[in-house]
């Protein structure tokens, strides 16, 4: 980190890796390019002289930004948007003449900011949900633990630690309602967030459902007794077994998949008594990865990983059964 420029403690000390990435130059200028792609596609569909090949070339060069070229051009034209139009044209030469066609600078600057703010709010919503889940577990655990209540900062009638935690939850619940209201004004109820921007807890929520359904379908031929199937499925989708599968899968993951798994693993949440901290976090990493692949519609990859995981878990359960017999 350069020591001759100002650095805000809000970023270096307090910001999460997610937020630092969200508001990075890469995300901002890639969002500009995605907006230009959609503009070109719409103009092509409306009959303007823009070809499908030009749109495709723009799509192929959303992420390979030549910052040096953009910075040099900005020194010449004193305009950030035109500098990036120029740099984009270098990457997609056949479409250079139609980038930003008919648009104003605010089309990319203002809309990109709104998209980034919206995605930041989505992330905060997931964080608030995590806090509420943890506080709910804390409140239940200490529901009967007495503590002093206070009025005007003076000791008053006794209450319980659980009740106090429930009051904290009420404040967060109000925050959640306000966030939902703001997101609804962005059409949030009508669109699905980009999977890589969804909070790991929500990815794990989806992944748990996806893998649970997969396991139940695989177990159907095993027995005609629902209780037997339920017991088997519950064991196979437990955090303990998912952790075993995740341990074996890690060496096979792509960098993108490993990053999603790490985000799931690092999510703080209440650990149940049926699993260790490590097992629960590995299980969450597994579920987050399954949820991500499902939402990305990578059916073949998801199927392959679930098939492999099922076999790994089956082998682990068989080994457990043999150990109990000894």
Q: How many residues does the chain have?
A: 326
pLDDT on residue 133? 82
Position with higher pLDDT, 271 vs 173:
173
Residue 35 pLDDT: 98
Average pLDDT for residues 77-95, to the nearest whole number?
97
State mean pLDDT over 107-117.
95
Please determine, for residue 274, whether its predicted confidence score (pLDDT) is greater than 90. no
Q: How confident is the model at residue 326 (pLDDT cuts 50, 70, 90)?
A: low
- Per-residue pLDDT tens for 208-236? 999 999 999 999 898 888 898 999 999 99
Each residue's pLDDT tens digit, 178-192:
998 888 887 655 456
Report the distance separating Cα 275 and Cα 61, nearest Å: 45
* pLDDT for residue 97 is more than 70: yes
Q: Which residues pair with 151 in a beta bridge?
A: 154
pTM passes above 0.75: no
* pLDDT of 285 strictly over 70: yes
Whether residue 212 contacts residue 233, with contact meaning beta carbons closer than 8 Å, is answered with yes
């Amino acid at each position: 980190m350069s020591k001759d420029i100002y650095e805000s403690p809000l970023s270096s000390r307090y910001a999460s890796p997610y937020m630092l990435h969200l508001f990075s130059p890469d995300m901002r200028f890639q969002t500009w390019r995605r907006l230009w792609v959609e503009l070109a596609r719409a103009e092509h569909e409306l009959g303007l002289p823009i070809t499908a090949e030009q749109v495709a070339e723009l799509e192929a060069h959303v992420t390979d930004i030549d910052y040096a070229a953009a910075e040099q051009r900005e020194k010449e034209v004193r305009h950030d948007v035109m500098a990036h139009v120029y740099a984009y044209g270098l990457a997609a030469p056949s479409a250079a003449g139609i980038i930003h066609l008919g648009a104003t600078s605010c089309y990319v600057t203002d809309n990109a900011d709104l998209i980034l703010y919206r995605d930041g709010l989505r992330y905060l919503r997931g964080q608030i949900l995590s806090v509420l889940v943890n506080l709910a577990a804390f409140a239940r655990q200490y529901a009967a633990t007495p503590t002093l209540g206070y009025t005007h900062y003076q000791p008053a009638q006794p209450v319980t630690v659980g009740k106090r935690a429930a009051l904290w939850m009420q404040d967060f619940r109000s925050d959640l309602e306000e966030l939902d209201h703001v997101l609804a004004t962005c059409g949030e109820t009508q669109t699905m967030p980009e999977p890589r921007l969804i909070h790991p807890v929500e990815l794990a929520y989806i992944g748990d459902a996806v893998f649970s359904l997969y396991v139940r379908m695989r177990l159907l031929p095993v027995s005609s007794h629902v209780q037997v199937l339920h017991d088997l499925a519950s064991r196979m989708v437990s955090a303990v077994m998912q952790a075993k599968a995740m341990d074996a899968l890690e060496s096979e993951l792509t960098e993108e998949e490993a990053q999603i798994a790490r985000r799931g693993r690092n999510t703080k949440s209440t650990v149940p008594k049926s699993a260790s901290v490590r097992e629960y976090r590995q299980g969450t990493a597994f579920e987050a990865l399954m949820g991500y692949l499902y939402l990305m519609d990578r059916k073949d990859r998801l199927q392959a990983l679930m098939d492999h995981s099922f076999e790994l878990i089956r082998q682990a359960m068989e080994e457990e059964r043999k150990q109990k017999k000894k």
